[in-house]
Structure 1
Amino acid sequence: MMRAVVLALTVGPAAAGTFTPPQGCTAFLTVQNRSCIVEHLWTCAADAPGLQWRGEIDRRGLVYVGQIDAEAQWIQSYFLISGEREALITPAADPASFSTLLQSGLDTYDFSLDTADGPHRVVGFDRIAERDVTIDGERLLRTEYSIRKTRADGTMIYEAEGSEYVSETHGRFFSGTGDVTRPDETFSYDSRPVDFIYPGQSGFLSDTPLYGCDALAASYVTE
């Protein structure tokens, strides 16, 4: 299903300036983020209940497609620029659990992903830090997180900590701010959502990121 979805998104017809989900799928939300990224969420009739998709578009076009389940587990991820693909290996040692996070305020996880580079291990936690946050009319919870991703031999791929947002309505996380460390670099990011756009509203399914693009271009010039 994943390859069919990616193929449909990359070669399928679309109106100018508009993102089109694959045939048999229905988009339900567009989110404009501060980091020059617009993302679209959709579900597909052929999928099992609880599964949903997300696509990210930046100035290069569609760069990421991912699928989560009802517990917000990373089921499949596809990175279109590099061609890399990841898939959840089950059973997990400590599965990520959206319901546990909502019920207890804390969820730990320890799972592995199947990649072309071999299995990658992901360990971390999410903690609810603030309730009743509102962004563009959307009621959210703010979380704090810590995550570490390693190869099978234990070498670090990256580690990060920061803050994200949780939507009880949509059963998923939205990006926030954080600090990321890789073996050769450390950087901070701010990808907080700005606009939540629903069907029938102006900007729904737009393929043009609106926020943070000028700042991103300026960073390329100075580096």
Structure 2
Amino acid sequence: MKLWKAHRIAGLAVALAAAAPAAHAQSGVQVPEGCEGFLTVQMKGCGVSHYWRCEADPDQNTWEAHYTFDGLFSVSVYSPEFQWLDSRYFQDGRREFLVEDGPDPASLSNLMDTGTDSYAFVMRETGPDGVRDIVHQGTDSLTGREVVIDGVTLLETEFTATALDALSGEEEYAVFGNQYVLPEERLFFLGPDTFVQGMEEQENDFSPVRFIRPGEPGFEDMMPRFECEATEEILFRPPTEGASTQTAAPRTAGALQNSTDTLLPAPGRKLSQPQRVRE
């Protein structure tokens, strides 16, 4: 499943949408030499992600650059099994990277073969508040439903996930809901979920809205196009039964900043190509 902290993006997008509604033209994502972008995904909640892979990486991991209303939010790296390896967050300078696979690493293959996959692994978080280890554990299950969004057929999952402090064992947060799998690219995408922290609950929906391939308008666009204004209505809703197709006219909002940031190799690996640019 996709474990990076979507609830952080939700709060950031709402705050910035209220503060700066004007749109500005931006140049596209610049991927490193030796790497090739293959997909841009516009999503609900005022976010857009660009995905690439690098020939110099023998493990063929996937890089994701995620942009919000305010510009570059994060760079993340995933294995072909969609095991979360590394994330760097540019709004607050944090980084999370895999310390050890743990007793039960994430396995997309297991999910596709059996219909369910459990996982438990440790991520080390570094940042302004210091260093700590977080245990991530949970379960993904295929619901058996196919969902068609922007002409792309996705497999729906339901999941539960919990983050625990590795030292104290105290629960940091829990999330449950639905996500989507694109099998041919071995990718997960966020969907409607509920984030629980203490006595507080937050409902999020960062479902994909548009899938854009190389050569299509909007590929490598860093500008989020959907739900970037607090009053905006979006036409896409998760289907209630069977497959459904969404259509929605893109809307622009916000000024994004062009950034060139450190690309994250998988832990223990060094790419031979220059590591400049950028979830």
Q: Same fold (TM over 0.5)?
A: yes
Letter in 2 for 1:140: L
- What's the secondary structure of 2:221's corresponding residue? coil
**Residue in 1 aligned with 2:67?**
57
**Residue in 2 aligned with 1:74?**
84
Higher mean C-alpha displacement, 150-159 vs 177-186: 177-186
Q: Considering fraction of residues, name the structure with more strand.
A: 1
- What's the secondary structure of 1:215's corresponding residue? coil
Q: Deviations 1:179-198 (Å, cap 9, x if unpaired)? A: 00123632110111010000
Inter-partner Cα distance in structure 2 for 1:181 and 1:66: 23
TM-score (norm 1): 0.86
- What's the secondary structure of 2:117's corresponding residue? strand
- TM-align CA RMSD: 1.8
Inter-partner Cα distance in structure 1 for 2:139 and 2:96: 20
CA 1:160–1:20: 2 relative to 1, 3 Å: same
1:144 and 2:158 matched: yes
Q: Is contact 1:17-1:208 (8 Å) kept?
A: no
Alpha-carbon offset, residue 115 of structure 1: 2.0
CA 1:196–1:104: 2 relative to 1, 3 Å: same
1:195 and 2:206 matched: no
Structure 1 outlier segments of 4+, above 6 Å: none
Percent identity for Structure 1 against Structure 2 = 35
Inter-partner Cα distance in structure 1 for 2:65 and 2:144: 27
Alpha-carbon offset, residue 202 of structure 1: 0.5
- What's the secondary structure of 1:101's corresponding residue? helix
Q: Is contact 1:110-1:123 (8 Å) kept?
A: yes
**Residue in 1 aligned with 2:135?**
121
| Aligned counterparts, 1:35-50, within 5 A | 35-50=45-60
Inter-partner Cα distance in structure 2 for 1:149 and 1:138: 31
TM-score (norm 2): 0.70
**Residue in 2 aligned with 1:4?**
none
Letter in 2 for 1:133: V
Which runs of 5 or more structure 2 residues have no equivalent in the other structure? Answer: 1-24, 234-279
Aligned length: 204
Q: Is contact 2:147-2:155 (8 Å) kept?
A: yes
Letter in 1 for 2:99: I
1:162 and 2:172 matched: no
Q: Deviations 1:9-52 (Å, cap 9, x if unpaired)? A: xxxxxx93312112322111000001100100001122123301
Letter in 1 for 2:187: R
Q: Is contact 1:161-1:179 (8 Å) kept?
A: yes
Inter-partner Cα distance in structure 2 for 1:205 and 1:93: 37
- What's the secondary structure of 1:54's corresponding residue? strand
Alpha-carbon offset, residue 83 of structure 1: 1.0
Inter-partner Cα distance in structure 1 for 2:227 and 2:80: 31
